[in-house]
Amino acid sequence: MKNKLQKLRDDFLRQLSTVDTSERLRDLELKYLSRKGELSEIMHELKNLSGELKRDIGGLANAVKTELQDKFTEARRLLDKRSGGERMTDVSLPGEKIINGHLNPITLVQNELEDLFTSLGFMVLDGPELESDYYNFTALNLSPDHPARDMQDTFYIDYKNKSGQYDLLMRTQTSPVQIRAMRKYGAPLKAIIPGRCFRNESTDARHEHTFYQVEGILVDKNINFANLKSFLEIVGQKLFGPDTKLRMRPKFFPFVEPGNNGEYSCFLCGGKGCRVCKNTGWLEIVGAGLIHPDVLRAGGIDPEVYSGLAFGFGLNRLAMLKYSINDVRLFNSGDLKFLEQF
């Protein structure tokens, strides 16, 4: 027994003298000093000894235990000090630079619109990018043979539904979420829906197959054209400054009636005409209108009781105007030279 203790002590000390990492130190602790370690085992065996021998060896075992624990603590202290000391060796060296990411300019404009609309009590909603033909077109008054579908050709998914029809596509606009929101929340309703949209475009500096919109929808009793007008005015002033003027020109969208294009006085020339507004003094920014009764019905809302307004911004265009970006393809390019400027 005595020999065993002696050997354990020698083994431990020999190994301790070669330990150089805290992992190895921890291994040593587990092997010798832990509750299931070799020293505990010997302490356990002491129980079987009798009288004097027990006292004798017990004393020795306790002495060894204290010694090993002290040595262990000292070794740990030295290791900690060393690794701490290494980190501090030369405080005059330059620090490691932390490289921050950048927000895409589209995200910046989106955040600005979200701040404005949440301050006006709107919810911010989300919807699927892979959409059904029904939500993207039919429910929005674009029946399968409607000519206005031609303006929004998109990517169709090679998958047939139960009735053997191809009815999945990449959404061409955020407007399908109007229907989804009405069905889920009913009226009254105030929501904006930022999101990614897709169209089958030949890309150039002004056209991109993947782009972003923010949809807005407000449904309540007695919503009328005056509400829409004041609404679009607030948005324009927030985006382009307090002197911004609004002009509404008729435009056809099948899901609103009447529909219009909201145009803002050019933020650069104030309406005199310049390069940004192509000498017209006005910037076409937002499609809008009063929600068509059929669309309210498709959303499960009674058009005899409620009316609503809807509008849709192209975020790419807004960001291009705001930050003087001259090629829409830069947004999805992943080009750090571009992104790091924001």
Nearer to ligand PHE, 194 or 259 (CB): 259
| Number of Cβ atoms within 10 Å of the Cβ of 241 | 12
Residue 102 beta carbon to ligand PHE: minimum distance, rounded to whole angstroms? 28
Which residue, 185, 151, 172, 133, is CA-closest to 306? 185
- What are the angstrom distances between the C-alpha of 315 and each of 57, 290, 331, 340? 83, 21, 11, 19
Nearer to ligand PHE, 211 or 267 (CB): 211
Which stretches of 148-194 are DSSP H helices?
176-185
State phi, psi for 245 to the nearest 5 degrees.
-105, 155
- What's the token pair of residue 115? 């701040």
CA 307 – CA 292 distance, rounded (Å): 9
Residue 253 beta carbon to ligand PHE: minimum distance, rounded to whole angstroms? 4
Residue nearest to ligand PHE (CB): 312
Nearer to ligand PHE, 189 or 288 (CB): 288
Identify whether the C-beta of residue 64 lies closer than 8 Å to the C-beta of residue 4: no
Residue 216 beta carbon to ligand PHE: minimum distance, rounded to whole angstroms? 8
Residue 289 beta carbon to ligand PHE: minimum distance, rounded to whole angstroms? 5
State phi, psi for 258 to the nearest 5 degrees.
-75, 160
**Angle, to 10 degrees, between the axis of helix 225-240 and the axis of helix 105-119?**
130
CA 252 – CA 229 distance, rounded (Å): 17
Residue 322 beta carbon to ligand PHE: minimum distance, rounded to whole angstroms? 19
Identify whether the C-beta of residue 204 lies closer than 8 Å to the C-beta of residue 198: no
Which residue, 276, 127, 103, 289, is CA-closest to 193? 127
CA 242 – CA 281 distance, rounded (Å): 16
Residues in CB range of 264: below 8 A, 6 or more apart: 236, 239, 240, 244, 245, 246, 247, 282, 283, 285
Nearer to ligand PHE, 68 or 328 (CB): 328
Nearer to ligand PHE, 58 or 303 (CB): 303
Residue 332 beta carbon to ligand PHE: minimum distance, rounded to whole angstroms? 18
What does the binding site for ligand PHE look like in residue numbers (CB under 6 A)?
173, 175, 215, 253, 256, 259, 287-289, 310-312
Residue 173 beta carbon to ligand PHE: minimum distance, rounded to whole angstroms? 4
Residue 152 beta carbon to ligand PHE: minimum distance, rounded to whole angstroms? 7
Nearer to ligand PHE, 68 or 217 (CB): 217
133 by DSSP, 3-state: which? helix
Residue 215 beta carbon to ligand PHE: minimum distance, rounded to whole angstroms? 6
CA 337 – CA 162 distance, rounded (Å): 48
Nearer to ligand PHE, 57 or 286 (CB): 286
Nearer to ligand PHE, 32 or 311 (CB): 311
Nearer to ligand PHE, 5 or 256 (CB): 256
